[in-house]
Amino acid sequence: MQLTRFTDLALRILMRLAVAEPDPRRDVDGHAAADPVANRSELTTQAVADQLSVRYAHAAKVVARLQKAGVVETRRGRGGGLKITERGRSLSVGRLVRELEGGAEVIECDGANPCPLRHGCRLRAALRDAQEAFFVALDPLTVSDLVASPTRQLLYSISGQR
């Protein structure tokens, strides 16, 4: 299974935002924190697009979808920016990928040129099962898990932090 570029970018944006605003439950190295970190460093869509080397227009569409999903908060104007929500930190990556990828099947059997095997083919069901197994493998992970070290340091390096 291959993720769409949209979903890939959505995950990378969430990962970047997860280290922009420290998780109050974790210290800078990703370990459980004794005291919540109060510093907030909000990013703009333009800054995230630049850091992830993607076009602003594509990043803006992804951010709008992430906001609609309740995993990113946005604030316009001076002092505005993007912020990951608690739901964004704790939501299952598998669930988020399912939501972003939609219910599309791996192969199209019934399209404009329907497959003549579609009524008795076992491939379609096998691919559907494989797709679900892909999502199930992502279910235990959260964005907070994805940004643990060494990924955390890589995210800091593209942002100029630490």
Domain count, the chain: 1
Give the pLDDT mean for 150-155: 88
Q: Is residue 38 part of a domain?
A: yes
Could you read off the pLDDT of 57-104 as tens digits, one per residue? 999 999 999 999 999 999 988 778 999 999 999 999 999 999 999 877
Which SS3 state, helix, strand or coil, does residue 43 take? strand
DSSP 8-class letter at 32? B
Q: What is the CATH number of the domain that holds 80?
A: 1.10.10.10
Segment 123-137, tens digit of pLDDT: 888 988 999 999 999
Token digits of residue 36: 């919540």
In this prediction the pTM is: 0.79
Could you give the residue ranges of the DSSP H alpha helices within the chain? 5-20, 45-51, 56-68, 86-90, 93-101, 123-138, 143-146, 151-159
Residue 30 lies in a domain: yes
As a residue count, the chain comes to 162
Range of the domain at 97: 5-104+142-159
Using pLDDT thresholds of 50, 70 and 90, give the confidence band for residue 40: very low
